[in-house]
Structure 1
Amino acid sequence: MRYDLDDLRLFTNVAAEGSITGGARMMHLSLPSASARVRALEAQAGVPLLVRERRGVRLTPAGATLARHARDVLAQTIRLDSAVASYAVARTAPIRLVAGGSAMHQLVPLALATFLRDHPEYDVNVAERRTVRSVRLLAAGEADLGVILDDEPTQLRTEPLADDSLVVIGQAGGILSGRASIAYAEVAEHPLVGLDRHSPLSQWMDERLGRHAPAPRYRTLVPTLHALITLATAGAGLAVVPRRAVYSNADVDICPLQDAWSTREHLLCYATDAPESVHLLAEHLHLAASVPT
């Protein structure tokens, strides 16, 4: 047997309203047209589906079964339409976002979560790049929006986004306890845990420390900020990390660095003639930056 979806939709409305008149109204059909459709459905089923009474209709056992399964079929068609439509919704090229490892830790995921939810018509390609590389990609038109540090000169449009200053963290109640600030030279006297040498943060620090900086002893090098913060919290060693990367409720001591290079800021950097979608994503990055860590 083949069922017309509009007939099934009409029948479920009749069942819900308790009358053919009510079902017709829900479907924007005339009463004669709705009655004819219901009779045709009964003829196709080969059994009565409704008991007609003076004040409406009642479902027969067959009618109740049909109504139950019809609701399931209609729900499945809605899910089918949604699944297929998801492949056609992106009508524009993906937004190309570049950002450093610090921004990738919390800021970018928070912004993407709300942006992709609120704007299903847009997709985003994300790449982790150092600031110097991000600026080059943006200037060449190979990226649309970047989260960069404020120490790279550029003629592109920029705007302040969030503080990204570095701090030292260590096990709660340890050697940082009660300290208002600390110099990196003193930090380097203690065992450290750090990011691997190829990470943007490690390379950024190496460039600013120079060859005359004290040589720290790293107990281990890990690939992510999450792993680094976990190790420092557990007492494996001190770690230099962006302050925003550490949740305020974390059970860890946090101590600002005295060194001038530790103070830095995230900027949003736009490619020339950025489309509306890029500005929408920028708004979500600003919202994410305002969320307390």
Structure 2
Amino acid sequence: MRYDLDDLRLFVAVVAEGSITAGASAVHLSLPSASARVRALEAQAGLPLLIRERRGVRPTPAGTTLARHAQAVLAETTRLDSAVGSYTAPPSRPVVLVAGASAMHRLVPLALTGFLSAHPEYDVAVSEHRTPESLRLLVEGQADLGIVLHDEAGETELPIEPLSDDHLVVIGQAGGVLTGRSEMTYREAAEHPMVGLSLDSSLRGWIDRHLAPNAPVARYRTLVPDLHTLITLAAAGAGLAVVPRRAVPEMPDLDICPLQDSWSLRRHLLCRAAREPTAAITALADHIHRAAAR
């Protein structure tokens, strides 16, 4: 049997409304046209699909089966249209998002996962930059959204919104020197072998800028380019590490101890370019806020 999608939509509407008249209205057909289509469906099936009563209609067992499968077919057709439409939609410039290394580790992936899934029609270009460079790109119109640090944002006139706290913590292998500690200063952490980020990383730059002139020189056993590697090494006992708390997953083989130093509490802000935001920019900003709240 060959079914017409418009006929299936009509039949589903008739069953749902309990009336051919109401079903016809729901799919914007005249009553005579709808009645003819229903009769044609029954002729094609070779058996009655509806029981006509004084106050409307109800489906026969065969009609109930047809309506159930028709709903599934129509839903799949809608998904098919959406999937193909995402390729045929007119191309548009991707939303440009800039952020520092800390936000890139967890916040940005969470936001992008939700955004790209909910909006197949939009694309995003992401790049990692320190706050001053991110602000420059936003001011010059080369970026649409930026996740920046409060203390480095200065007196910018760009639209800025609070996003989340980003507290630095010391991490190390479970059962090691951090066991039983509720807090620790950087000076105490530096008394032990450490692992750290590369000298050109934004987090390493932040730490070095805020250390007092007489701060102890830490012994770094190795320097690595990303937080994932750093956390893995610390969990394995290679040394202590200073990382953003939000970047640390719950791991049974890892102890976490907050830093006491005043500079260890950083704040992330969401900064927008100074122009009217598009629907795509607004949607991505909303997903960033949702990710920050998790």
TM-score, normalised via structure 1 length: 0.73
Aligned equivalent of 2:37? 37
Q: How does 1:140-289 map to 2 (within 5 A)?
A: 140-149=140-149, 150-151=151-152, 153=154, 155-157=156-158, 158-176=160-178, 177-178=180-181, 180-184=183-187, 186-206=188-208, 214-218=217-221, 220-246=222-248, 252-258=255-261, 261-275=263-277, 277=279, 278=281, 281-282=284-285, 284-289=287-292
CA distance in 2, matches of 1:288, 1:53: 53
Cα gap change, 1:132 to 1:48, in 2 (>3 Å): same
CA contact (8 A) 1:181 1:255 kept: yes
Which string of whole-angstrom CA distances, capped at 9 and with x for unpartnered residues, describes residues 152-188 of structure 1?
546442454433343322234432333632234x433
Aligned equivalent of 1:136? 136
RMSD of Structure 2 on Structure 1 (CA): 4.0
Shift of 1:91: 7.4
Shift of 1:240: 0.9
CA distance in 2, matches of 1:111, 1:249: 22
Could you tell me which runs of 5 or more consecutive residues in structure 2 were left unpaired when the two chains were aligned.
none
Q: Percent identity?
A: 57
Cα gap change, 1:50 to 1:122, in 2 (>3 Å): closer
Shift of 1:98: 0.4
CA distance in 2, matches of 1:280, 1:10: 35
CA distance in 2, matches of 1:180, 1:229: 18
Cα gap change, 1:167 to 1:13, in 2 (>3 Å): closer
CA contact (8 A) 2:132 2:153 kept: yes
Which string of whole-angstrom CA distances, capped at 9 and with x for unpartnered residues, describes residues 124-174 of structure 1?
322111223212222321112211222354644245443334332223443
Aligned equivalent of 2:101? 101
Cα gap change, 1:90 to 1:147, in 2 (>3 Å): farther
CA distance in 1, matches of 2:256, 2:156: 39
- Figure out how many residues of one structure are paired with residues of the other and give that number: 285
Aligned equivalent of 1:47? 46
Shift of 1:53: 6.0
Q: For structure 1, which segment, 264-273 or 152-161, has the greater mean C-alpha deviation from structure 2 after superposition? A: 152-161
CA contact (8 A) 2:141 2:273 kept: yes
Which string of whole-angstrom CA distances, capped at 9 and with x for unpartnered residues, describes residues 227-280 of structure 1?
42343234332001123323589752313153x654543333332225255456
Q: Secondary structure at the match of 2:152?
A: coil
Q: Secondary structure at the match of 2:143?
A: coil
CA contact (8 A) 1:144 1:274 kept: no
CA distance in 1, matches of 2:98, 2:50: 66
